[in-house]
Amino acid sequence: MAPAATLLAADEPDGVVLQADGDWLVATAAEIDRTLGALNLPQGRPVKIDLARVERLDTAGAWLVLRTEHELAGRGNTVTITNLRPSLKPLLDQVRATGHVEPLPHPVPAHHSLIGFVARIGEVTLLILRRGYRILGFAGLVAETLAGLCLHPSRLRRAATLVQMERSGLDAMPITGLLSFLIGVVIAYQGADQLRRFGAEIYNVNLLGVGVLRELGVLMASIVIAGRSGSAFTAEIGTMEVNEEIDALRTLGLDPIEVLVVPRLLGLVFTLPLIVFFVDFMGLLGGALMCWAVLDINFQQFINQLQTSVSGWTLWVGVIKAPFFAAIIAMVGCYEGFNVTRSAESVGRLTTQAVVEAIFLVIVADAVFSVAFSVLRI
Partner 1 sequence: MTQTASDIVIRVKGLVNRFGSQTVHDGIDLEVRRGEVIGIVGGSGTGKSVLLRTIVGLNRPAAGSIEVLGQDMLNAATAERRAVERRWGVLFQDGALFSSLTVAQNIEVPIKEHCRMPARLMDEIAATKVGLVRLPESAADKFPSQLSGGMRKRAGLARALALDPEIVFLDEPTAGLDPIAAADFDHLIRDLKGSLDLTVFMVTHDLDSLFAICDRVAVLVDKKIRVDTLEAHLRDDHPWIHSYFHGPRGRAALAAEARREGAGAMADRA
Residue of the chain from 20, 49, 81, 95 that contacts partner 1 (CB under 8 A)? 95
CA trace torsion 235, 238, 240, 244 (10° rounding) = -160
Note whether 242 and 340 are within 8 A (CB): yes
For partner 1, which is the closer residue by CB, 125 or 341? 341
Residues 31-50 contacting partner 1, CB under 8 A? 33
Would you give the distance in Å from CA 314 to the centre of its chain?
A: 37
| Interface pattern 107-146 for partner 1 (x via CB under 8 A) | x---------------------------------------
Q: Is the Cβ–Cβ distance between 275 and 225 less than 8 Å? A: yes
Under a CB-based contact definition with an 8 Å cutoff, are residues 248 and 368 in contact?
A: no
Calpha distance 284→291 (Å, rounded): 10
**Number of residues in contact with partner 1 under rule CB under 8 A:** 26
Nearer to partner 1, 97 or 151 (CB): 97
Among 30, 52, 110, 128, binds partner 1 (CB under 8 A): 30
Q: How far is CA 317 from the centre of its chain?
A: 33
Stretch that binds partner 1, among 86-94, 108-116, 203-211, 255-263 (CB under 8 A): 86-94
Of 17, 41, 53, 67, which lies in the binding site for partner 1, with binding defined by CB under 8 A? 67
Q: Which residues, including other chains, have CB under 8 Å from residue 325's CB and lie 6 or more apart?
A: 218, 222, 272, 362, 365, 366
Single out the residue of 9, 41, 91, 378 in contact with partner 1 (rule: CB under 8 A): 91
Range 193-252, binding partner 1 (CB under 8 A): none
9, 29, 41, 242: which one binds partner 1 (CB under 8 A): 29
Among 42, 78, 82, 93, binds partner 1 (CB under 8 A): 93
Instruction: Tell me which residue of 235, 218, 190, 216 sits closest to 333, measured CA to CA.
Output: 235
d(CA 204, CA 135): 42
Which residues are near partner 1 by CB under 8 A? 25-27, 29-30, 33, 58-60, 63, 67, 90-91, 93-95, 98-99, 101-104, 106-107, 343, 345
